[in-house]
Structure 1
Amino acid sequence: MEATAFLKGIGLGGSLIVAIGSQNAYLLRQALKREFVLTCIAICVICDVVLIGAGVAGMGQLIVEAPALLFWIKIAGAGFLFWYGLRAARSAFNPGVMAASENSMAGDRRTVIAAMLAFSLLNPHVYLDTVVLLGSIGGQQAGNGRWYFALGAMLASLLWFGSLGLGARYLTPVFAKPRAWQILDGVIALVMWALAISLFL
């Protein structure tokens, strides 16, 4: 029964995490630039671990009963996503040669950390997916099954973000060309704007 709950956690957690979103898009971009990749991976995983744990522990009901909180998270999240979409669009129209190398640590660590936290926490869908959905399903597991379910979902998060962040280096030859960065930034801009709009649909 515990093994079943663990596998359920991996399956459901993985299916929710793999979906294209602002968090994944930003992590991919940082991984291709090779800027603070391990820091970004750690932030993504830690945020998921905390939120999944809180959901299984019963915090999901508080989220459901606090629509005003979710509304303000939507406002902040939409504003941030729209602003970052503008940045990505500007980069797409003004491409520069971005060397995807070990020494291209041009960004500021604090800025990257702040952005990664924003992408991880300023999206109300994150709370609905991890705290409410995974929390409610995990809470239905018998006995210690809820914690095995949570561990499975947390492992799915670690595997996905680790694979995305560390596996992006194999795309380095593709992104040696400015045109590839143009396309990536254009796609990221569209994803950010679509997510910002979807928060209010």
Structure 2
Amino acid sequence: MEPIFHGIILAFGLILPLGVQNVFVFTQGVTQPSMVLALPAAITAAICDTILIILAIFGLSMIVLQFEWIRLILIIAGILFLLYMGKVIWLSDAASLEGKEALPLKKQILFALSVSLLNPHALLDTIGVIGTSAVKYEGQDQGLFMIACIIVSWLWFLLLATTGVFLKKIQISKKVFILFNKLSAIFIWGTAIYLLVGLF
């Protein structure tokens, strides 16, 4: 049971903090007309996390941690991406909350891919924390650890989208969601600045 509990606790610890990936999936729950139309964002994010977890546990973490220039490229690309996503979230308005500007399926999937695979925190957390934590396990135990992390990821993203849909249905004031977007954008810009400062 140890690798299962370890995987659950570690995955929750990494996925809980407010970040661009969580914000995007939650926002799709709010902006899409129905839960079914919000699912592509949640499923895409979960699939990306699953791939990153598998790659991290099976050795990618060792490669990235050995070559500083790879980590540097990831961080610089991530900073630029976070600045852009912060702008997109900041400029979203009440019209999008009424479904008038809901992202179409293709764009929703592409955005979910970008916030999952171009997010330096997600990449470095998955590779640096989950990948290195998995080293202590072998064989079946390592498999159980990996499965626990993946299950937490899927449940979390589906819960985020469902929560967004629920809050929209009970007609929470649009001003609350707009304020949430503004605060999220500020947090995302803050993360970009933090990563930038860490380079010097």
- Using the size of structure 2 for normalisation, the TM-score is 0.87
Question: 2:21 maps to which residue?
Answer: 23
**What is the CA–CA distance in structure 1 between the aligned matches of 2:96 and 2:75, rounded to whole Å?**
35
Residue type at the aligned position of 1:195: T
What is the Cα deviation at residue 180 of structure 1?
2.1
Unaligned runs of 5+ in 1: none
Cα displacement (A) at 1:144: 1.6
Task: Report the CA distance between 1:26 and its aligned residue.
Answer: 0.9
Q: Which amino acid is the alignment partner of residue 46 of structure 2?
A: V
SS at the partner of 1:144? helix
Distance 2:96 2:163 in 1: 21
- The equivalent position to 2:136 in structure 1, one of 136, 140, 146, is 140
**Structure 2 counterpart of 1:99:** 98
Other-structure match for 2:73? 72
The 1:190–1:133 alpha-carbon spacing in structure 2 relative to 1, beyond 3 Å, is: same
Structure 2: gaps (5+ residues): none
Give the aligned residue type for 2:39. Answer: L
Match in the other structure for 1:82: 83
Partners of 1:98 and 1:176 within 8 A in 2? no
Q: Are residues 67 and 97 of structure 1, via their aligned partners in 2, closer, same or farther at CA, if it must alter by over 3 Å?
A: closer
Structure 2 distance, partners of 1:134, 1:143, is: 16
Equivalent residue, structure 1, for 2:121? 125
**Aligned residue for 1:60?**
61
Cα deviation digits, residues 135-185 of structure 1 (max 9, x gap)? 111121143211110111111111111111122222115655332232122
Partner of 1:188: 184
Shift of 1:97: 6.9
- Give the conservation status (yes or no) of the 8 Å contact 1:138–1:147: no
1:155 matched residue in structure 2? 151
- Structure 1 runs, 4 residues or longer, greater than 3 Å off: 173-178
Whether the 8 Å contact between 2:95 and 2:101 is mirrored in structure 1 is: no
CA RMSD of aligned residues (A): 2.1
Shift of 1:82: 1.0
Task: Say which of 31, 34, 44 aligns to 1:33.
Answer: 31
| Displacement after TM superposition at 1:67 (Å) | 2.1
Query: Do 1:37 and 1:165's aligned partners in 2 also have CA atoms closer than 8 Å?
Result: yes
Count of aligned positions: 194
Between the aligned partners of 2:30 and 2:47, the Cα distance in structure 1 is 21
**Greater share of helix residues, 1 or 2?**
2
